[in-house]
Chains A and B, each alone.
Chain A
Amino acid sequence: MSPVSERDVRVSECGPAALRVSARLGDRELDWRVVHGLSRRLSERQEPGLIVSIPTYESVLVEFDPTATTVAAVAEHVRQLLRTIDPGEPLETAPRTFVVPVLYGGPWQDDLDEVARLTNLDSEEVIRRHLEPSYTVRCLGAPGGSPMLDGPDFPVPIPRLASPRASVPAGVVSLAGRQATIAPATSPGGWRVIGRTPLSFLDLAREPLVPYLPGDVLRFERIDEDAFERLSGLALVPDGTMTHTPATGARA
């Protein structure tokens, strides 16, 4: 494909210290490649004054120090980098795959049944559809680097809980709208929980704090309660690299 042109993006000011760059190629996969490609180039180039970029699905927020650069200079830098991006190329040529074991239902059976009711499927079919795809990690979200995924193939989006829970444990596997995720840390949550992984994702002694990056692939695998106990607290590692090892410095 041809490189990204100015017509393909919208650059919006967010005060004197941030810009939002939204891709508008009209294709969700291409938009995602553009904003993540831009974010990677920004972090490789170490331009003075640039602090960090936050890429998500179809936009990236670029944060900078207004005493070291200007909105105009950052916008121009972004335009130059966009010209080096070919949206036809995949973000990762060799993505790693992570297999996430999940105990479906259990303490979360009520949420699972509710998702079944909302989608007019039975709960076994909800689980089957959740297990079916290979999910690309779209971006890292809160809390603590949650892998944000495109949701499974359901007939309707899943509404959030009317009243979010004050605390949901680390490892819960959840759904909302057309999105899916897994929580690396205990936190409040308004998403519907359909199960939980016994593995630990977060390691505060490591950088990045979670083992996967945007562009990597996740697959879910159904386990029973015995396997949940056996795997409890082990660290998530890429498929085929090594066996699970106990997490270091991770929150229980």
Chain B
Amino acid sequence: MSMSGTLRIETAGNAVVTDLGRPRGPAMGLPTGGASDQYSARVANILVANDDDAPIIEATAFDLSFVAEVDLLIAVTGAPMTLLVDGVERSMWEPVSICAGQHVVLTEMSAGLRTYVAVHGSFDVPLLLGSCAPDTGVGFGVRLSAGSRLDVRTSIGPVVNPYFDMSLFNLGVLVPYFGDDVVVKVTDGPDEDEFAGTSGRLFQAPYTVTEKSNHIGLRMTGRLPVRTSTAEVLSRGVPVGAIEVPPGDELVVLHRGRGVTAGYPVLAVVTPVSLDDLGQARPGQRVCFRHITVEHAAQDVREWRIRLQQLRRRVAAIYSALGLAEPLGIERRTTDREEPRALQRL
């Protein structure tokens, strides 16, 4: 029934294999890293009955195409792109069966910045501290280019009719908003008092994301709060989402690839849920910050997690109804994590 096989990349403008990140990394000086839009990454894996943190492809801004050398079950989420399977358009945000030999093309990203491709069974890739997330600092990770081959752990025959765009699924996936103006929720930072009198500027007018933004952090222009204290700050741990105002004319919002320590005061902290929206923010896009309490932010995360758990249950129920629970490993949900193999560098 299940066998392993290979997926061969034909084009990859800017794509890596990643997962939800490396939570233990910061204790050793490595950033957390992982998918910049964690919601989309988790949904992709859930739709193909993988663990939430299974390795997936993250394609940033540019096209991606590959050939399946075995039958695959895939799901594409994140920034909206046109998904073509042998030239036939298929839907994002739902499971799609691919037959051996078919060409899969992702093109024309129309909004957002990062698109995710999960494959049932996931990929056999090297791990560092338990995660495959790229770390450019130490030169670790899998970056895809034409000719790259990814070993897929299990192949699965057609689940849905692979030749017609006729979905069997009504999974009720909540698709995020990928519009022009992003509303980003923040809570007070631990050093807000160092911006006495001007911290409110953060909420008065929108900011614009600049070209210098990446997975480490976003840089934004706008009316900047002004730091009033001048005391030298020793390097200290900074949370993902920290908003800082370094010298210069830009606001910095640290994202998942942030260096774990920094010496700037933290004005505010973007909530975990809003970090996903920032992970999809393009240069030129406008961002409006909105203040909420820490309790409210925690409640948002809990609701976000419950929605994902509910989706996982609906997906499992549908696969069971189709008689596919066993080949997809749904009823024997165990850890199929493997030990790190030989390490690979970028």
Contact B27 A53, beta carbon cutoff 8 Å: yes
Q: Is A145 within 8 A of B266, CB to CB? A: no
Question: How near does chain A come to B299, taking the closest CB pair, in angstroms?
Answer: 8
Interface string of A138-180 (1 = CB under 8 A from B): 0111111110100000000000000000000000000001010
Give the nearest-CB partner of A251 in chain B. B139
Is A135 at the interface (CB under 8 A from chain B)? no
**Chain B residue, CB-CB nearest to A148:** B235
B236 pairs with A20, CB closer than 8 A: yes
> Could you tell me if B271 and A16 are in contact, using CB atoms closer than 8 angstroms?
yes
By a CB distance below 8 angstroms, the chain A residues around B295 are: 16
Chain A contacts for B29, CB-based, 8 A: 140-146, 210
* CB neighbours of B23 from chain A (8 A): 51-52, 63
- Contact call A142/B297, Cβ cutoff below 8 A: no
What's the tally of chain A residues with a CB closer than 8 Å to chain B?
51
Q: Cβ of A194 < 8 Å from any Cβ of B?
A: no
Does A56 count as interface, using CB distance less than 8 angstroms?
yes
The answer to the question of B321 belonging to the interface, with a C-beta cut-off of 8 Å to chain A, is: no
Does the CB pair A13–B137 fall under 8 Å?
no
Instruction: Annotate B254-286 by CB proximity to A: 1 below 8 A, 0 otherwise.
Output: 000001110000100111100000000000000
Asked if A104 is at the interface of the complex by the 8 Å CB criterion, the answer is no
Is the pair B235, A179 in contact by a Cβ cutoff of 8 Å? yes
Using known A-B contacts A61-B238, A141-B235, determine if residue A52 contacts B298 with beta carbons closer than 8 Å: no
Tell me if A66 and B301 are in contact (CB < 8 A).
yes
Chain B residues with CB below 8 A from A207, complex form: 28, 129
A71 closest partner in B (C-beta):
B294
Given A53-B27, A141-B260: A15 in contact with B345 (beta carbons within 8 A): no
The smallest beta-carbon distance between A113 and chain B, in angstroms, is 25
State whether the Cβ of B189 lies closer than 8 Å to any Cβ in chain A.
yes
Alpha-carbon distance A98/B12, docked complex (angstroms): 44
Most A Cβ at <10 Å: residue of B29, B232, B242: B29
Known A-B contacts A14-B190, A15-B269, A142-B29; A251 and B345 likewise in contact (beta carbons under 8 Å): yes
Q: CA of A130 to CA of B238 in the docked complex: distance in angstroms? A: 29
A54 is an interface residue with CB less than 8 A from chain B: yes
B28: chain A residues at CB < 8 Å are 140, 145, 207-210
The smallest C-beta distance from A65 to any residue of chain B, in angstroms, reads: 9
A60 at interface, CB cutoff 8 A: yes
**Option from A55, A204, A205, A249 in Cβ contact (under 8 Å) with B237:** A55
Question: Residues 7-28 of chain A: 1 if any B CB is under 8 Å from the residue's CB, otherwise 0?
Answer: 0000011111110101000000
Given A14-B190, A16-B271, answer yes or no on A57-B236 (Cβ-Cβ < 8 Å).
Answer: yes
- In the complex, chain A residues whose CB is within 8 Å of the CB of B305: 67
- B236 — which chain A residues lie within 8 A by C-beta? 20, 22, 56-59, 61
Whole-angstrom distance between the Cβ of A208 and the nearest chain B Cβ? 5
Flag whether A70 is at the interface (Cβ < 8 A).
yes
A-B contact pairs, 9 of them (CB 8 A): A13-B187, A13-B190, A17-B272, A20-B190, A20-B236, A22-B236, A54-B261, A56-B237, A60-B237
Q: Give A residues with C-beta under 8 Å from B.
A: 12-18, 20, 22, 39, 43, 51-61, 63, 66-67, 70-71, 139-146, 148, 177, 179, 184-187, 202, 204-205, 207-210, 249, 251
Closest 7 CB pairs of A and B: A61-B237, A54-B237, A12-B190, A15-B269, A16-B298, A142-B259, A145-B29
Interface residues, chain B, with chain A CB atoms under 8 Å away:
23-31, 128-129, 135, 137-140, 187-190, 232, 234-239, 241-242, 259-261, 266, 269-272, 294-295, 297-298, 301-302, 305, 340, 343, 345
